[in-house]
Amino acid sequence: MIVVINDDRVKDVEAYLPIAKAFAADAVANDEGCISMEVLVDPEIPGRVLYLSHFESREAFQKHAGGATFQKWLPELGKYFISAADSFFELKASAGTDLM
């Protein structure tokens, strides 16, 4: 399993947020391999929105990024988009921890 942190900068966070949340819910419901996706707002940096996502694999994320759900929401999200950066992390179990 991988954790993806998408670090976006957007204009008008208040207008962007409902669209971002709808996109995240759609991705979890419809994109194979998308386990969860949360939308977080940085209270310290204006315009910073993070997507914290869990995917079965990096390939599942790549399929999501090029897939129908992303393309469906891109026009609405794109109205507010300034920049983004993705970070990928492997989720490893710690001793005595049972992860998903």
pLDDT tens digit sequence for 10-66: 999 999 999 999 999 999 999 999 999 999 999 999 999 999 999 999 999 999 999
Beta bridge partner(s), residue 39: 51
Query: In CATH, what number is assigned to the domain containing residue 30?
Result: 3.30.70.100
pTM: 0.89
Buried residues in 4-39 as b, exposed as e (16+ CB within 10 A): bebbbbbeebeebeebbeebbebbbeebebbbebeb
Domain assignment present for 77: no
Beta bridge partner(s), residue 55: 2, 34
Domain assignment present for 42: yes
Residue 26 domain boundaries: 2-56+82-90
Take residue 89 and report the two structure tokens written for it.
């992390």
The span from the CA of 13 to the CA of 10, in Å, is 6
Domain assignment present for 76: no
